[in-house]
Amino acid sequence: MRIGMSLTEPVGPGALTALRDQLQQAADDGFASAWMSNIFGVDALTALAVAGSQVPGIELGTAVVPTYPRHPAVLAQQALTVALAVGGRLALGIGLSHQIVIEDMYGYSFERPARHMSEYLSILLPLLNGEKAAFHGDTMRADIGLSVPRPGPVPVLLAALAPAMLRLAGQRADGTVLWMTGPATVRDYVAPAITQAAAAAGRPAPRVVCILPVCVTDDPDQARARAARVFAIYGQLPSYRAMLDREGASGPADVAITGDEDTVSAQIMALADAGVTDFVAGEYARGEEHQRTRALLKSLIS
């Protein structure tokens, strides 16, 4: 199991410099990958192209870019350009986002999300592979080719939680990116579903990238209380709520990995047995606890 880190959203005029510094520290610490969200702050792909081009040797992932606001040909063009800028180290994580974002904020319809994603991939994947996309579906259309140089394959990972999305991720993409999905749910639901779908389609074993909050502490109750505050919204969004319910978790605090070094190590390593190929640490600790958390993660890498 590879170990990566989740990047803290950079803010202010020096955001890209701060992001570069985060990436450099992650690379120096030996992390295999660094993953950036794409919500309302700086654009993840643009930021990774700028900052990542200055930091060699670490995979750069998006977790995740929403599909609805970007035509798949536009996203393919941008992703290929970013991959070119970072020497082929981009992992393109994409997802549907949430109805409250797509309909209430962007003003798009969120109907038929699985059909939307299937048709989206029918355009995105050929273009990323250097082929022309000629597709006319119910929700997506394209007849276009791109001339962006390809530095190599760009792996595509779906934020897949529902059964139809997990099938798509296994059948047509390179894996999935998970958030707020606990170990039992990965072991009993996610990993079997995506692996079986990939095998049936004759594809290689998929990546299962699992991002969870992590805090090494002598006061796990306090750390879980902080996780409950920081990540409260994820207990309310339907897709994450469904995963928490499947896990038997009352909220995000129950899937946060907290405790002393031995406890946290055991929980992280158990994810490998559950089918996780890439564990990505969502560090949310402060001060000494942050230092302890990073030190533990570095020890697991080594």
Indicate which CATH number applies to the domain containing 256.
3.20.20.30
Dihedral of the CA atoms 192, 195, 201, 207 (nearest 10)?
150
Domain membership of residue 266 (yes or no) is yes
162 neighbors 239 (Cβ within 8 angstroms): yes
Residue 281 lies in a domain: yes
Backbone angles phi, psi at 173, to 5 degrees: -105, -175
Please name every residue paired with 176 in a beta bridge, in sequence order, or none if there are none: 158, 208
User: Is 247's pLDDT higher than 90?
Assistant: yes
For the stretch 202-215, pLDDT in tens is 999 999 999 999 99
Tell me the Cα Rg of the chain: 19
Number of structural domains in the chain: 1
Three-state secondary-structure class, residue 105: helix
Quick one: tokens of 130? Answer: 């250097």
Segment holding 142, helix H or strand E: strand 141-144
Domain range holding 244?
160-302
Tens of pLDDT, residues 209-238: 999 999 999 999 999 999 999 999 999 999
Task: Judge whether 188 lies within some domain.
Answer: yes
> CA-CA distances (angstroms) from residue 264 to 29, 69, 243, 267?
18, 38, 21, 5
63 token code pair? 């977790």
Residue 179 has pLDDT above 90, yes or no: yes
Inside any domain, residue 225: yes
Structural domain includes residue 248: yes
Q: Is residue 220 part of a domain?
A: yes
Q: What is the pLDDT of residues 148-160, one digit of tens each?
A: 999 999 999 999 9
In-domain check, residue 186: yes
pLDDT value of residue 24: 98
Percent of the chain at pLDDT above 70?
Answer: 100
User: Is 199 a member of any domain?
Assistant: yes
Provide the pLDDT confidence category of residue 302 given band limits of 50, 70 and 90. Answer: confident
